[in-house]
Structure 1
Amino acid sequence: MYDKGILSEKVADTIKQMIMDKKFVPGDKLPNELHLTDALNVSRSTVREAIKILVSSNILEVRRGKGTFVAQELGLSKDPLGVSFMDQQDLLYNLYESRLIMEPEIAALAARRATAKDIAQLKAAFTAIVDDIKNGRDHTEHDIAFHNVIAKSSHNPIIHRILPIIHEGISHGCYETKHITESGDKAIIHHQNIMEAIMNGDEEASKKWMAEHIQYGMEQIIK
């Protein structure tokens, strides 16, 4: 007879395998506890413990009043490097420095591999950024979406996994520089240059404009 903890882990592994086999995909709602209890031939308490295990690993997420869903970013925590525990004084600069190392090359890959669908999503994200800035709204969310599309356009799943770290840098950067008068106008120009380079399949220009965009942000931090 299985120990309850071991049985819960086995049930968690079974559900995880279902996700790996594409029986459930990110965003899908899992059947309710009663259904899972019958399907897996275990008690409801075992199912609940298995779900807790998978939630702690960011494979599942529980939405109050709605049910249990497969996480959008499977297995990836919101703060994988423990950034929130680091010295906050130099954190923003260090995040931008990391972006400067990674994102120009990611933009070059996007220029080489972006599909028509990727380009359409990039245009939509850029349009949303411009609309936010022109109307005096915080453009952080759409800025993140823009960079997210570029990373996805690289069609490299590992790059997609490191996005939360990049997002952290973008989020902090927009917050710190949005009070600067020229920041919004500069953001539009930078994003447009990056977008057009990727649309034209120009890898070197994509790298150049992405690097300039991030370097500008770093300069504002220093100031």
Structure 2
Amino acid sequence: MNHTKGPLSLEIAMRLQKMILTEKEYKPNDRIPDERTLALRLGVSRNSIREAIKVLVGNGVLIVKRGVGTFVADNPDFISDPFRLSLIEDYRELQIKWYEVRLMVEPEAMRLVAERITPKELEQLTLLEQECADLIRNGLDYTIADNNFHTFLAKATHNEIIERLIQGIGASVSSGIAMGKDLARRNALENHRLIVEYIKKRDGTGAYHAMRLHLLQGKEDIMNQSIRVEDEMIQ
């Protein structure tokens, strides 16, 4: 059985996460070894370790204390992987299932956002969309900005269950940005703006369809990228 994995940094992030959550090698509030030590142990570059740590910091597993070191969070198991999704090793399967769940939740949630978002929240949402767009246009890593955008939309539903559900799933699965990168950039750039435009108009139906389009495109990008990877493996 072929397992389509993500980029090396994500594979390393999953390995480190298992060392923390499953193997209990590092416990809450423990300081993890420095980049050089981890790189030697796992047989990878320090840059790969650095990128993997960024992923785990974004997921809430690790906390960086400047001038001190990198530490395991107080409650990394709940914050990072409440659904134990990190145990799914087939990266393609994990991504596709993630999008299937999001398609059932996030488009409908946009109706609530359009109805309930406050003027102050709308200003902040606009800034988050612009921040993500600027990073994309400048060719920079926008993974965290993308996650912040979707997390804020969940919060703007003013429904704590929806907010925690979307945050929990998002923290458990690394974004599809890493696979089909150029396609994902275009998707986020165009459809984030469209979602915000409909929300500004208080058009819940328009926001619903914009989010659905965004997620369907993301799922298609992952599937197409996975097919290309498999074809290259066969060749």
TM-score bracket for the superposition, by shorter chain length: 0.5 to 0.7
2:11 is aligned to none
Shift of 1:149: 1.2
Give CA-to-partner distance per residue, 1:10-50, whole Å, 9 cap, x none: xxxxxxxxxxxxxxxxxxxxxxxxxxxxxxxxxxxxxxxxx
Alignment partners' CA distance in 2, 1:216 and 1:93: 12
Shift of 1:173: 0.8
Alignment partners' CA distance in 2, 1:129 and 1:114: 20
2:116 corresponds to 1:83: no
Alignment partners' CA distance in 1, 2:115 and 2:216: 23
2:140 is aligned to 137
2:217 is aligned to 216
Aligned match for 2:95, one of 74, 87, 92 = 92
Shift of 1:188: 1.2
2:131 corresponds to 1:128: yes
Aligned match for 1:161, one of 153, 159, 164 = 164
Shift of 1:62: 11
What TM-score does the superposition give when structure 1 sets the normalisation length? Answer: 0.64
Shift of 1:196: 0.8
Unpaired stretches in structure 2, ≥5 consecutive residues: 1-27, 30-59, 225-235
Aligned match for 1:115, one of 102, 113, 118 = 118
Alignment partners' CA distance in 1, 2:132 and 2:144: 9
2:204 is aligned to 203
Classify 1:95/1:214 alpha carbon distance in 2 versus 1 (closer, same or farther; 3 Å).
same
Structure (1 or 2) with the larger CA radius of gyration:
1
Q: How many residues align?
A: 162
Classify 1:168/1:199 alpha carbon distance in 2 versus 1 (closer, same or farther; 3 Å).
farther
What TM-score does the superposition give when structure 2 sets the normalisation length? Answer: 0.61
Classify 1:175/1:168 alpha carbon distance in 2 versus 1 (closer, same or farther; 3 Å).
farther
Paired AA for residue 86 in structure 1 = I
Shift of 1:74: 11
Unpaired stretches in structure 1, ≥5 consecutive residues: 1-53
* Preserved contact between residue 80 and residue 172 of structure 2 (Cα < 8 Å): no
Alignment partners' CA distance in 1, 2:81 and 2:210: 28
Give CA-to-partner distance per residue, 1:45-80, whole Å, 9 cap, x none: xxxxxxxxx98xx9xx997969xxx97x99943100
Q: Which structure 2 residues correspond to residues 60-75 of structure 1 after superposition, within 5 A?
A: none
Aligned match for 1:151, one of 143, 149, 154 = 154
Shift of 1:179: 3.6
Paired AA for residue 200 in structure 1 = K
Alignment partners' CA distance in 1, 2:96 and 2:186: 22
Shift of 1:97: 0.6
Alignment partners' CA distance in 2, 1:75 and 1:92: 20
Shift of 1:161: 1.2
Moved over 2 A (4+): 61-66, 73-77, 166-169, 183-186
Paired AA for residue 142 in structure 2 = H
Paired AA for residue 130 in structure 2 = T
Alignment partners' CA distance in 2, 1:131 and 1:62: 25
SS in 2 for 1:90: helix
Give CA-to-partner distance per residue, 1:93-126, whole Å, 9 cap, x none: 0001111110001111100100011101111111
Q: Which structure 2 residues correspond to residues 20-35 of structure 1 after superposition, within 5 A?
A: none
Paired AA for residue 81 in structure 2 = D
Alignment partners' CA distance in 2, 1:166 and 1:120: 23
Alignment partners' CA distance in 1, 2:204 and 2:114: 5
